[in-house]
Amino acid sequence: MVTLDAIQSKIAKLQKQAETIVEKQTSVGLTKIRDLMARHGLSMADIEHFIGKKRGRKPGKGVKAAGAKRTVAAKYADPKTGATWTGRGRAPAWIRDVKDRSKFLIEGSAAKPAAKVARKPRANAAAVKKTVAKRAKAATPRKAARKAA
């Protein structure tokens, strides 16, 4: 039967072997790095300068950082329970079936009752119609050629 002392001595011996292997591998890696630096004429200052460069997009520009969430002020509040809702996402049960939500608006919030706004017609609607007509004309011979084939 193997004793605990024997197992612990084997563990210590294996750990020493692992440490020597790690030291050997790191020294080989460092020599390769030193040789590459000498071959290309690089110094530590060059490496530090390269590592110091910021790569990619700057934070806060363009796309939001992953996991970053904005907090939105509540626009609606339930007078009975005090529960609030931002107006985004699914409506909670206390306001879901209400036709006029303006009763629940929080004073001072940026929310205003939604007014129906008529869309303005496009300024170049005539040009769009002409383009559509030209495309339809150009597509007609192609369809006929496909059917004949």
Between 107 and 28, whose confidence is greater?
Answer: 28
Alpha carbon distance 22, 27 (integer Å): 9
Write down the number of H helices and E strands in the chain.
4, 2
86 close to 74: Cβ distance less than 8 angstroms = yes
Considering its fold, how many domains does the chain have in total? 2
Flag whether 33 is in a domain. yes
The reply to whether 111 and 78 lie within a common domain is yes
- Both 11 and 39 in one domain: the answer is yes
**Torsion sign, CA atoms 36, 40, 46, 50:** negative
Is residue 111 included in any domain, yes or no? Answer: yes
Tokens of 67: 């996991």
Residue 111 is predicted with a pLDDT of 46
Domain membership of residue 137 (yes or no) is: no
49 and 37 Cβ atoms separated by less than 8 Å: no
| pLDDT band at residue 64 under the 50/70/90 scheme | low
- With a cut of 50, say whether residue 90 has pLDDT above it: yes
CA-based Rg of the chain, rounded to a whole angstrom?
Answer: 36
Q: pTM of the entire structure?
A: 0.31
Residues 61, 54: Cα–Cα separation, whole Å: 14
Q: Does 62 fall in a domain?
A: no
Domain that holds residue 27: 4-51
Pair of tokens at residue 3: 């004793």
Q: Are residues 109 and 77 in the same domain?
A: yes
In a domain? residue 61: no
User: Per-residue confidence at 103, pLDDT binned at 50, 70, 90?
Assistant: confident
